[in-house]
Structure 1
Amino acid sequence: MTPVPLPVRTRRPARATWGRRRLVVGAVLVPGLLALLVQAGGGWTAAVTPAWLGLVVAVAVTGALTLASYVPASGETWRDTLGCSPCAVVSGGTVLAAAFLLGQAPHQVGMVLPALAVVLFGLVQRTSSTRDVCMR
């Protein structure tokens, strides 16, 4: 008896999640997002502490990476990158939620921490969840 070969499953090669295009867009977004978050958090005053500013920079970088994840990678379409579910939009909304949280208590580290947690949630959701395949 000869062994019967098992069917070979073909897998699509894994695409790089963070290509050069997304990293460049993220880097371009950081300064503008930082300025927006500092303004929402009370602006540049004498009350700005290094700890507060450092955390706001972390929020800006994380938010910029979240927004950059919406840029299609090489070979992807906008529709595939954006996703087709309401959850795909929530991640981008976390950046706005962070700005809202910073505005609730200007220059307070206690409000930057929840803002950082919110944008981290958005980034994790955007990068780890399986993307919905859109109907064509």
Structure 2
Amino acid sequence: MADIKDKLERLKKEREVRSRSKSQLVKDAWEEIEKTEDLSVKDKLEHLISLTRQEKPQKPEIQTFEPLKREPLQFFENPYPLDVKYGRVLLSSGLEIKGNILTCLSKESAFENLDLSTALFIDLETTGLSGGAGVV
């Protein structure tokens, strides 16, 4: 606890030194400005303000974007056995979905006589394409 108190005291002293030095600088500058009698009070204040005003730091230069070279296609194959569970459901149970259920879910009559056990599934990952394409 004493360590923290010591640090706080040191910070307070440093802050006082900084604030005193700033105020002393302003006082010294005002005394110099006061010596010029041909300036109005407004001109003197503007001169004082211009002395204390700091320029805005320049923004760092933005580096140009250089796209990375990529392969035109990346192929990953992740086969899963049919007895693997996805959550509480076996993958093999998806192959047993009847055509009338597929037609109802998809609102597409082309699936009426489809047997999913003979279907080919291609999962296209289109991450970053606003919604993606999903499973074809």
In the superposition, the TM-score normalised over structure 2's length comes to 0.24
More helix by share: 1
More strand by share: 2
Q: Higher relative CO (CA 8 A, sep ≥ 6), structure 1 or 2?
A: 1
Structure with greater Cα Rg:
2
